[in-house]
Amino acid sequence: MPRQPRLDAPGLLQHVMARGIERRKLFLDDKDRESFLERFAGILEETQTQCYAWALIPNHFHLLLRTGPTPVSKVMRRLMTGYAVTFNKRHKRAGHLFQNRYKSVVCEEDAYLLELIRYIHLNPLRAKMVKDLNELDKYPWSGHSAILGHCKNPLVPEVSKQAPSPSEGLFVAGNQAPDSLLQQQKMPTPRNPCNPCQKVPLAEKTIEDVLLHFGGTQKVARRRYREFVEKGIAQGRRPEFQGGGLVRSAGGKKAGLLGRSKEEREKGDARILGSGDFVSEALMKAGEEWESRKGSMPTLTELIDRVSQIYSVSSEQLKSRSRKPAIVDARSVVARIAVRNHGYKGIEVAQALCLSPASVSRIVENGENILLCRETDLSDKIRKSFLSNKDIGIDKA
């Protein structure tokens, strides 16, 4: 069964996961982890994407993101592409680093925000990377320690680290935040209260947002947050948080579907974690966003012509059955950009390139290898050409 296109729209909460190819390690040492987080921090701030929870495990990672105006696909492409290139150069390797594409599940916020923060932050404990919660409290490779204030927040970009963090003064006694703070939460570019002309890094603002769910003062909120995380240890693995669908949207149990109408049961979607009504709303929202973006997408004919020029071949040659290396590579690059960057269906690409649909996925992977892994003069020329042309859809690593 072909994979469905990802759902995306500004403001959606998404649980994102990616694994190393053949379950190999993505992070061999702390320098790799620091490199990943430094890149991630800059991308989050630049794209105004909020990351509520994160955890780095040797062969995979988990993120809980709320997208801003930049699609999550673009955020993840920049993160994974840039990190893969850096990792390969540092460790003198070639080839794919990640196993296929990342997985993302749109999540209903009211029901799952706090549950997913807890679930993701307990990953290092479940993976036995730390022995207990006390050790997790100071573990630097998940967001848990940053929320507790035991480690510096690595998601604050270097250029922002001179800015004072939101202080105790931003919280008030009691369980409710003042109206002015709640209004401030909605601002895309929050300001430092000590210096109104200076922006507070979004990563710090996101931690503040999390703590506001647990109390009005920083001390109380951190204590209650930790108690909440501790209660989740006994729950163990939560497979329903790995993806949506009918059963998982019902809380991971088939019994949760009993008593629902046929119409309600049919609202389930494997890309969404939430109630039937939320599934319908998310699909509608993502569909509207997709339609609004379709008009700015390059056509397949434009992509073919552009890549043909770079490879000094004709469009007719690219659509032929020729097995000349330059033509095969050009064909693969077109397929990769069309499918991975612009969401064209495999059958559409197959028709445009005069191929069988079954061969498209194979040449997409070859195109990925050409763009990200090959260190040749031609591949470098291709990357530079794409990097300077946003309409092609390859971002600077």
The one-digit pLDDT tens for each residue of the chain (397 residues) are 445 555 666 778 889 999 999 889 999 999 999 999 999 999 999 999 999 999 999 999 999 999 888 888 889 999 999 999 999 999 999 888 998 778 888 877 677 889 999 999 999 999 999 999 999 999 999 999 999 999 999 999 876 554 444 433 344 333 333 333 333 333 344 444 444 444 678 899 999 999 999 998 999 999 999 999 999 998 766 655 655 444 444 444 444 444 455 444 434 455 666 655 666 566 666 554 544 455 556 788 888 888 888 888 888 888 888 888 889 988 988 888 887 777 677 888 888 998 887 788 788 878 877 776 655 666 666 666 655 444 444 444 4
Q: What is the CATH number of the domain that holds 124?
A: 3.30.70.1290
Considering the domain architecture, whether residues 286 and 140 belong to the same structural domain is answered as yes
Task: Provide the domain count of the chain.
Answer: 2
Last residue of a domain, which of 239, 269, 296?
296
Is residue 392 situated within a structural domain? no
- For the stretch 215-224, contacts whose Cβ atoms lie closer than 8 Å and that sit 24 or more positions apart, written own/partner, are 215/171, 215/175, 216/171, 216/172, 216/173, 216/174, 216/175, 216/176, 216/177, 217/168, 217/171, 217/172, 217/173, 218/149, 218/168, 218/170, 218/171, 219/168, 221/171, 222/147, 222/148, 222/149
Considering the domain architecture, whether residues 222 and 149 belong to the same structural domain is answered as yes
Is residue 396 situated within a structural domain? no
Range of the domain at 338: 300-387
pTM: 0.61
